Amino acid sequence: MYSFELKGKVAVVTGGAGGIGVVICQRLAEAGATVVVADLNEDVGCGTAEKITAGGGKALFLPLDVTDSGSVQAVFEKVEAEFGGVDINVNCAGVTRRMDTLEFDEKAFRWIMDVNVTGVFLCAQAAARSMVKRGGGKIVNIASVGGLVGLKGSLGYSCSKGAVVQMIRTMALDLAQYHINVNGVAPALNRTAIAAPVINDPETYQSFMDKIPLKRLCEPMDVACAIQFLCSSAADFITGQILPVDGGWTVE
Ligand SMILES: NC(=O)c1ccc[n+]([C@@H]2O[C@H](COP(=O)([O-])OP(=O)(O)OC[C@H]3O[C@@H](n4cnc5c(N)ncnc54)[C@H](O)[C@@H]3O)[C@@H](O)[C@H]2O)c1
């Protein structure tokens, strides 16, 4: 049955307390999924789960550090105990630092790779192990236009998102036999905390906007709707793909 609905599905959203993550959690819950909001940020994460529950949806907050395999394991064990397993895993936790290549700080580079690459690997692997027992599932990782084209001043971030793109393709090949689809989205600039250094610098902001044919910022709901599609049965025959949600940026 082809549908955009997610009724009866259990979704784990990492970075679920972030500017884009909150909207993804709300969208998936509105589509009928039980949503596990997983993030370092307990205040916003709890608030998001409470808001969804107050609106008639189903949600639970679990604290998560995606760089800590023990923390990742604890979250997925709790989800198995509470809901029987996971059907959908959206990997949205992400960090960045902006510096030119000559000044790029080693510690910052390693931290970005740890959160954006190792974190996605650990969570997607834990989710996939649970999905194998369920007979299938959907994994969607948030990449970025910076994973598809070079992003001036964002060396660590661009490298990390390029790695996420390749992780999506390789995991899709490895997991197809288990009926697990692995896809990603590549958003353009959203007005959220991670993008503040770009948004708040008029010159850099304009240089980003000049690249977007549709001439507006990406909204978290643009990203959330693309993710709902990729998590739904309407996307059952799509795997290993990265859907740009970028107003046309990467077409040129
Ligand atoms: N905002 C943009 O312009 C933009 C564009 C393209 C891609 N993205 C990607 O979208 C995703 C979400 O970004 P956002 O805009 O919501 O940013 P955000 O800064 O608002 O949210 C990021 C979230 O990740 C969480 N996080 C960071 N490190 C973590 C860790 N170790 N363990 C668990 N959670 C952790 C933070 O607590 C935060 O809630 C990121 O992967 C980002 O790279 C964002």
- Give domain limits for the chain: 10-246
Which residue's alpha carbon is nearest to atom 34 within ligand 1? Answer: 39
- State the pLDDT at residue 1: 76
Calculate mean pLDDT across residues 133-159: 97
**pLDDT(231) > 90:** yes
- State the pLDDT at residue 103: 97
If pLDDT is split at 50, 70 and 90, which confidence band does 206 have? very high
**Residue to mutate, 194, 217, 221, ligand 1, most ligand atoms under 8 Å from C-beta:** 194
Distances (CA, A) of 24 to 19, 66, 89, 225, 244: 9, 18, 11, 8, 16
Ligand 1 centroid – CA 125 distance (Å): 19
- State the pLDDT at residue 51: 98
Percent of the chain with pLDDT over 70: 100
Ligand 1 centroid – CA 96 distance (Å): 9
- State the pLDDT at residue 68: 98
Ligand 1 centroid – CA 217 distance (Å): 16
- State the pLDDT at residue 247: 98
- Which residues belong to the active site? 157
- State the pLDDT at residue 167: 98
Query: Which residues sit with their C-beta closer than 6 Å to ligand 1?
Result: 14-15, 17-21, 39-41, 64-67, 92-95, 115, 119, 142, 144, 187, 189-190, 192-195
**pLDDT(93) > 90:** yes
State if pTM tops 0.95: yes
Calculate mean pLDDT across residues 5-9: 97
| Closest atom of ligand 1 relative to the 145 alpha carbon | 6
**Residue to mutate, 67, 92, 168, 205, ligand 1, most ligand atoms under 8 Å from C-beta:** 92
**Residue to mutate, 39, 62, 204, ligand 1, most ligand atoms under 8 Å from C-beta:** 39
Ligand 1 centroid – CA 92 distance (Å): 6
Calculate mean pLDDT across residues 24-42: 98
Of the candidates 149, 139, 116, 145, which has an alpha carbon nearest to the alpha carbon of residue 244?
A: 145
Ligand 1 centroid – CA 21 distance (Å): 7
Q: What is the CATH number of domain 10-246?
A: 3.40.50.720
Which residue's alpha carbon is nearest to atom 7 within ligand 1? Answer: 144
Average pLDDT, the chain: 98
**pLDDT(246) > 90:** yes
If pLDDT is split at 50, 70 and 90, which confidence band does 87 have? very high
**pLDDT(143) > 80:** yes
Calculate mean pLDDT across residues 184-196: 98
Beta-strand pair 34-39/58-63: parallel
Calculate mean pLDDT across residues 209-224: 98
